């Protein structure tokens, strides 16, 4: 990890859950972090709590689903932090409703946050790395549901089916997007590595928008956000010539 000291990482959805754990892990290793999130109060708390860690933290209030805000955020990163060396796409949005009960606006929010923003951030990161001729690493926090279609939990005390709207479709899209980008980058810049991280159930706040989903998930065994941060540090720490293309991480005994 020593070669990443003083480099710049961009983490979306950085103020809570997996994003916060990743941000803290990088800061502890001396990596500077541009923490992007839509929750201003959480960003303020993050800034106050992490001031004493070795890495430098810049917090940026930004809705990644909005093109103008994302452009402004990356312009600020280029000016203040001299570009992107590590890009971690983590921000995600989920609706625990059925597609047939939903509407166009909901579809747009899910896909813009979970897919379009990933593509835009990867585009900006690759161009920053290529322009400066540096080693880079891009991570997409995908999901095990991007590799399968989840069914009803098998636990006897859980009696609802999982309704994820377009979330599952969006994660299938970002898994494919990750592999597509890896092929594109291999043609132009071999030392930009692309890694897909696909966690199972993680104890985060993404389910708080639905009380029913939150109560259900509490009954199921889950990973901690720090488990995903550990995977990021592992992949970053490998030699330039080693590319971790896909890491699937689940709680012991969890069935996709």
Distance between CA 35 and CA 230 in Å, rounded?
18
Is the pLDDT confidence value at 214 over 90? no
The burial class, CB within 10 Å (0-12 / 13-18 / 19+), for 159 is exposed
- State residue 160's pLDDT score: 45
Average pLDDT across the chain, whole number = 90
Q: Which fold has domain 2-249?
A: Rossmann fold (3.40.50)
Q: What is the pLDDT of residues 143-162, one digit of tens each?
A: 999 998 876 655 544 444 46
Q: Are 16 and 39 in contact (CB under 8 A)?
A: yes
pLDDT at 222: 82
Give start and end residues of each alpha helix (H) in 50-91: 67-81
Q: Domain residue spans in the chain?
A: 2-249
Catalytic residue numbers read: 167
**Coil, strand or helix: which one is 85?**
coil
The tokens describing 176, both together, are 């494919």
Q: Is pLDDT at 199 greater than 70 in this prediction?
A: yes
Residue 164: the pLDDT is 87
pTM of the complete model: 0.90
Most confident of 166-180, 186-200, 241-255: 166-180
Question: Quick one: which of 81, 20, 54, 2 has its CA closest to 206?
Answer: 20
| Alpha carbons 154 and 94: distance in angstroms, whole number | 22
Mean predicted confidence (pLDDT) in 49-70: 95
Higher pLDDT, 170 or 159: 170
24: helix, strand or coil: helix
The average pLDDT across 13-38 equals: 97
Pick left, alpha or beta for residue 13 (phi over 0 → left; psi -120 to 50 → alpha; otherwise beta).
Answer: left
Structure tokens belonging to residue 248: 């699937």
Which segments of the chain are extended strands (E)? 8-12, 32-37, 57-61, 86-89, 136-141, 192-199, 246-249
């Amino acid at each position: 990890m020593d070669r990443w000291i003083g480099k710049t990482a961009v983490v979306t959805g950085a103020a809570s859950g997996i994003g916060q754990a990743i941000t803290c892990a990088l800061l502890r290793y001396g990596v500077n972090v541009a923490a992007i999130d839509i929750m201003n109060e959480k960003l303020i708390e993050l800034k106050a709590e992490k001031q004493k860690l070795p890495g430098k933290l810049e917090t940026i209030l930004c809705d990644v689903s909005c093109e103008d805000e994302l452009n402004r955020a990356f312009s600020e990163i280029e000016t203040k932090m001299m570009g992107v060396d590590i890009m971690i796409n983590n921000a995600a949005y989920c609706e625990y409703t059925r597609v047939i009960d939903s509407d166009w606006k909901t579809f747009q929010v899910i896909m813009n946050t979970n897919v379009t923003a990933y593509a835009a951030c990867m585009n900006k990161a690759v161009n920053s790395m290529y322009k400066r001729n540096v080693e880079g690493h891009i991570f997409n926090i995908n999901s095990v549901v991007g590799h399968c279609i989840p069914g009803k939990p098998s636990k006897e005390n859980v009696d609802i089916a999982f309704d994820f709207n377009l979330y599952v479709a969006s994660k299938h899209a970002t898994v494919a997007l990750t592999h597509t980008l890896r092929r594109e980058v291999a043609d132009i810049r071999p030392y930009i590595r692309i890694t897909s991280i696909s966690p199972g159930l993680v104890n985060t706040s993404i389910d708080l928008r639905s009380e029913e989903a939150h109560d259900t998930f509490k009954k199921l065994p889950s990973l901690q956000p720090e488990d995903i941060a550990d995977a990021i540090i592992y992949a970053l720490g490998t030699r330039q010539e080693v590319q971790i293309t896909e890491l699937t991480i689940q709680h012991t005994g969890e069935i996709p």
